[in-house]
Structure 1
Amino acid sequence: MDVVLLLSMAAAGLSAASSHAERQYHFVSEAKSMSEAQRYCREKHTDLATVDSMEVVKLLNDMAGQHNQSAWIGLHDERDAWRWSMSDPSFYGPGEIEFRRWETGQPSNGHDDQCTYVDSYVACFDYYCNSHLWVICFDVTGPNATFVRIDSAMIWTQAQSYCREHHTDLASVRNLTENQQIADLLHAGEVWIGLYRDSWKWSDGSNSSFKYWAENEPNLRTLKVCVAAAFDNSGKWDYLDCGVEKPFICYGPVPVSMQVIKVRVQKPNGVDLNDPAFLAAMLVEAKKNLRAQGLDDNVQVAWRKQPDGQVFQKEEKRDEL
Structure 2
Amino acid sequence: MAIGSAEIDEFLAMLAAERGAAANTLAAYRRDLEGAAELVGDLAAAERSQLSGLGSAWEALAPATVARKSSALRQFFGFLVDEGIRDDDPSPALPRPATRRSLPKILSHGEVGALFARAELEAEPGRPTAIRMLALLELLYGSGLRATELVSLPVAAVPRDAPFLTVTGKGGQARMVPVSGRAQQALAKWMPVRNADSAFLFPSRKSHLTRVRLFQLLKDLAVRAGLKPEKVSPHVLRHAFATHLLEGGADLRVLQTLLGHADIATTQIYTHVDASRLVALVNERHPLAERRRGD
TM class by shorter-chain length?
Answer: under 0.3
* TM-score of the two chains, using structure 1 as the length reference: 0.21
Query: Which structure is larger by alpha-carbon Rg, 1 or 2?
Result: 1
With normalisation by structure 2, the TM-score equals 0.22
Higher RCO by CA contacts (8 Å cutoff, separation 6 or greater): 1
